Amino acid sequence: MADENVAAAPTGVSSKSKITALLLCIFLGTLGVHRFYVGKVGTGIIWLLTLGIFGIGVIIDIIMIAIGKFKDKQGLLLA
């Protein structure tokens, strides 16, 4: 039974904010904070230990978030 007080996200769209993820990636990307935010804990730890895969991964993530291709843990595009 679904909880009536919880608003469901549209199909195919995450409840996580694209703008928030982008700002986290720009300012704290080498620590993987944007990946923790969208629920990708495993890759967030990798980003944390490798400083964002030596900076290259952060740049790729910034581009992916900016063009709207970055997905959360469930595979949904950010809103």
pLDDT in tens, 2-33: 555 555 555 789 899 999 999 999 999 999 99
Q: What percent of the chain has pLDDT over 70?
A: 87
Q: CB–CB of 14/76 below 8 Å?
A: yes
DSSP 10: P
- The residues near 58 (Cβ < 8 Å, ≥ 6 apart) are 25, 29, 30, 47, 52
Q: What angle do CA 40, 58, 48 make, to 5 degrees?
A: 55
Instruction: Kindly report the pTM of this predicted structure.
Output: 0.83
Residue 76 pLDDT exceeds 60: yes
